[in-house]
Amino acid sequence: MATCNVSDNVIYSVTRKMNARKKAYCTYGRGPCFTRESGNLTQRDTQKTSGYLSKSVGIGQQKPGPGQPQIFTLVMKKRGKIRRPSQQRVDAKIVFGNRKKIKKQIEAQTKYRLYRGDLSKLAQRRIFQIQKIRCNYKKFLKKEAKYAQEDDDDDMDEDNGGGQSQEDLVEVD
């Protein structure tokens, strides 16, 4: 959304009030406003994390192959490609590992390249949160499978031993 003739402050002030992607979820204008724009790490409507700025950082996900670790991409913008949006995105791969490895990869792409180093902590927090949610979801699926298996075993026991057999009900002369 950035243009080469207008500063980021002007773009934000114009789109702040009238933005199709801005939603006030159940706050009726009193609480925080959230936004669904790409390149916004916190999904909050603030100028610091806005995706409309000429330099913004976003998180993308790639579907891993079988037996491969989860791969995230750090999505950044090229400043000179304003008129060609398809060539504007730059993806840097971030491979899962321990927290220190992920932190080092993100800082190498943001802080050490002097590209929005203030957003490196937000990107780290976002990736760690996604990692935590996936871990909790896997635990949930395991518990559900365990409970489903126990319920099936209980149903089998009731069918086999719960009551009289059919031979006792029929009289034979």
Q: What length does the chain have?
A: 173
pLDDT per position as a tens digit, 8-48: 888 888 877 777 677 766 566 677 777 788 888 888 888 88
- Tokens standing for residue 102: 């992920």
Mean pLDDT estimate for the chain: 80
In this predicted structure, what is the pLDDT of residue 70? 81
Q: pTM, whole model, 2 decimals?
A: 0.71
Q: What percent of the chain has pLDDT over 90?
A: 15
Lowest mean pLDDT among 52-66, 92-106, 127-141, 150-164: 150-164
DSSP 144: H
Nearest Cα residue to 52 out of 5, 94, 9: 9
Torsions phi, psi of 35, nearest 5? -140, 155
In this predicted structure, what is the pLDDT of residue 48? 85
Burial of 119 by CB count in 10 Å (0-12 exposed, 13-18 middle, 19+ buried)? buried
pLDDT per position as a tens digit, 118-145: 888 999 999 999 889 988 999 999 999 9
In this predicted structure, what is the pLDDT of residue 149? 87
In this predicted structure, what is the pLDDT of residue 161? 53
Burial of 50 by CB count in 10 Å (0-12 exposed, 13-18 middle, 19+ buried)? buried
How would DSSP label each residue in 74-94?
EEEE-TT-TT-GGGTEEEEEE
